[in-house]
Amino acid sequence: MKLNFDNKNVLVFGGSKGIGFGVVKALAELGATVYYASRTEKFYKHANVHFVKTDVQDHKQITAVFDQFENKTLDVLVNCTGINFAKQHSEITMQEWQQVIDVNLSSYFLTCKLALEKMIPNRKGKIVNVSSIAGKHRSVISGCHYVASKAGILGLTRQLAYETAKHNINVNAVCPSQTKTEMLTGTMDAEQILALEKNIPLGRIAEVEEQVGPILFLCSELSNYITGTCLDVNGGQI
């Protein structure tokens, strides 16, 4: 068996950077028609890739994205949106707290809700939510607002999986550890990254492609009997 997304319509939120962009490219190359919603467009040309300008802090804009699927099925939703401010609890303002929760968690709820409205009548569909190793444990660099939002994604994923299993829909999450993305380099300097790598059993930071692979698996029919799980992709960290 191999991955095949021919004739699949996929929607990716947060698809212009990092892991999200890696997912968009890989799905398109595997035959999917991919719509990615983001504030900025990535200069990537592929006949099967379509950009939808979206600010996930605006609920009306999120809702409008789903107009793309008015006359077509939505087979897969991938949520990769995320922001982070590396601050201690004493430094976080209520505005910053709310912004992180809105982007990292509330938007996931709304996108899942709207996607399920499309998927349930067809009795099929897959949702993959990108959480974080921080959502299962804690973080040495991120603030409590980020950790709380990522933990919330796991609860949201498990409950939606329970509620939608009867409709033959799979809802899962992945928990990536630190990965070579713009978010990582924006929160850690080279010395901090080297120190972090010493505590990773595999001895290095993940490449984007190493996070994309597990997401593709959960998007595919190879994972039909998996729902409500969180797949750790963390180089052996506990």
Q: What is the pLDDT of residues 59-77, one digit of tens each?
A: 999 999 999 999 999 999 9
DSSP 206: B
Q: Does residue 3 form part of some domain? A: no
Distance between CA 152 and CA 231 in Å, rounded?
A: 15
Which pLDDT score, from 0 to 100, does residue 97 have?
Answer: 94
pLDDT over 90 for what percent of the chain? 71
Range of the structural domain that residue 198 is part of: 9-233
Distance between CA 181 and CA 168 in Å, rounded?
A: 34
Q: Does residue 42 form part of some domain? A: yes
Q: What is the dihedral of CA 87, 89, 91, 93, to 10 degrees?
A: 110
Q: Residue 165's domain is classified under what CATH number?
A: 3.40.50.720
Q: Does residue 4 form part of some domain? A: no
Query: What pTM, to 2 d.p., does this model score?
Result: 0.93
- Residues belonging to the active site: 146
Q: Does residue 1 form part of some domain? A: no
71 — phi, psi (to 5°)?
-120, 25
Work out how many domains the chain is built from and give that number. 1
pLDDT in tens, 118-176: 999 999 999 999 999 988 888 777 789 999 999 999 999 999 999 999 999 999 999 99
The predicted model gives 204-219 an average pLDDT of 94
Distance between CA 59 and CA 109 in Å, rounded?
A: 11
Which residue shows structure tokens 């912004």? 99
Q: Does residue 53 form part of some domain? A: yes
- In DSSP notation, 62-87 reads HHHHGGGGTTS---EEEE--------
Q: Does residue 238 form part of some domain? A: no
Q: How confident is the model at residue 211 (pLDDT cuts 50, 70, 90)?
A: very high
